[in-house]
Amino acid sequence: MISCVTDDPRAGQIAFLRLIRSENVGPITCRRLLAHCGDAAAALEALPELARRGGRRRPPRICPQDEAERELDALEALGARVLTLADSEYPSALAAIDDPPPVLSVLGDPALPSRRAVAIVGARNASANGRRFARQLALGLGEAGLAVTSGLARGIDTAAHEGALDSGTVAVLAGGPDVVYPRENGALYQGIRERGAVVSEMPAGLVPQARHFPRRNRLISGLSLGVLVVEAAPRSGSLITARLALEQGREVFAVPGSPLDPRARGCNHLIRQGAVLTESAEDVLETLDGFLAARRIRPETAPGPAPEAPEPGQDEASEARVIVKQLLGPSPVLLDEVARQAQLSAAMVNRVLLELELAGRVVRHPGNRVSLTTDGGDTG
């Protein structure tokens, strides 16, 4: 159970912000730190020593208190509700994924991201029929009581938000919660902010870059029970969202299309790979009924991270570091394979990897894989 040692909510938020904005700390590393230390304040204290054990010679940069305070002030000035992993209001479906954002800001209805939802994503250069159908699907899902999640992009995303504006829609942004992208969706953004919810893990004012969109996509799928793709070219961002949904244990739906239309190739490929062929909102609802029953998914009671094992002895930990580092290389390898070949517990492997990550010597990859950094990390 992630906790916050202080009764002051603002102090807890600042501690979480300082942690996630510190050097070599990403969402997965942050969660490992929280599980290892118990709370954000303790994790900040432990960070330098853990990095030293991982081989770092210089202390990592820890986000200063005043920097985190300025970020929080900017979010509060927007009227955003700031949620951390320690808050009971944090969306539990999102908390159940491997890399939830430690800090989430919400403009609009802060309860809406916790509602059961389906994500609708697709091509930015969507056809007129594709947009109309996405709007129709969103309307039907909303009438059934589900929220609709999407990314506020052109095309299918825009149509999905429009169809669910009256029933409840969540726009997940790649940049700051106050940065509208694309600009042409300014009116839609304002409507969602007033009648739905706008969600971001980024600081206020941050303009999105290309590298931010895959991170945004994991939130779209993480907030949802399933991802529905309407028109998508091969190797598109929508297919990345579908892949992330599968990794997170969500259902994937796809609308079939003509093989003569390049925008249908991604969806047709997903269907060949086992996605649910979708021709109506009823197809989604029927599948979700069975999906929830089979897996007994209850987002409101999703589990948190497993507690850490007791601290190992110094000799045991040193030996484990040597073994794990020998098994790692520049090519990504599955964590389970590392644990199997090392003949160490998953808890011990995770502990060593946490130290190496904080030292800047390990990179995490999709699919629960890791590799050594090509530059060897900090050496000075």
* Domains defined for the chain, CATH in brackets: 9-106 (no CATH), 110-301 (3.40.50.450), 314-372 (1.10.10.10)
Local structure of residue 145 (DSSP, 8 states):
T
Compute the distance between CA of residue 198 and CA of residue 192 in angstroms, rounded to an integer: 7
pLDDT(302) > 70:
no
pLDDT(294) > 80:
no
> Chain-centre distance of CA 121, in angstroms?
16
Which tens digits make up the pLDDT trace of 203-216? 999 999 999 999 99
Task: Give one DSSP letter per residue of 332-356, joined into a string.
Answer: -EEHHHHHHHHT--HHHHHHHHHHH
Higher per-residue confidence, 346 vs 224: 224
Place of tokens 């290389």: 329
Q: What is the pLDDT of residue 347?
A: 85
pLDDT(6) > 70:
no
pLDDT mean over 107-122: 97
**Which residues lie closer than 8 Å to 64 by C-beta, 6 or more apart?**
18
Burial (Cβ within 10 Å: 0-12, 13-18, ≥19) of residue 101? buried
Q: How confident is the model at residue 369 (pLDDT cuts 50, 70, 90)?
A: confident
DSSP 3-state of 169: strand
Within a 13 Å sphere around the CA of 148, how many CA atoms are in the beta-carbon half?
35
Q: What is the pLDDT of residue 122?
A: 97
pLDDT(311) > 90:
no
pLDDT mean over 316-343: 90
Q: What is the pLDDT of residue 299?
A: 46
Higher per-residue confidence, 258 vs 315: 258
Buried b (16+ CB within 10 A) or exposed e, 319-333: ebbebbbebbeeebb
Which range has the worst mean pLDDT, 22-31, 186-195, 327-336, 362-371?
362-371
Compute the distance between CA of residue 22 and CA of residue 160 in angstroms, rounded to an integer: 36
Cis peptide before 9 (omega within 30 of 0): no
Higher per-residue confidence, 6 vs 230: 230
Residue 347: count other Cβ atoms within 10 Å of its Cβ.
Answer: 16
pLDDT(197) > 60:
yes
DSSP 3-state of 276: strand
Assigned token pair, 93: 């479906």
pLDDT(374) > 90:
no
pLDDT(162) > 50:
yes
Q: What is the pLDDT of residue 366?
A: 73
Q: What is the pLDDT of residue 79?
A: 97
**C-alpha distance across the termini of the chain, in Å:** 36
Q: What is the pLDDT of residue 303?
A: 41
To the question of pTM greater than 0.85 for the whole model, the response is: yes
| Residues in a beta bridge with 119 | 149, 227
Which tens digits make up the pLDDT trace of 330-368? 999 998 899 899 998 888 888 999 999 999 999 888 778
Local structure of residue 203 (DSSP, 8 states):
P
Q: What is the pLDDT of residue 50?
A: 94
Assigned token pair, 290: 């069975």
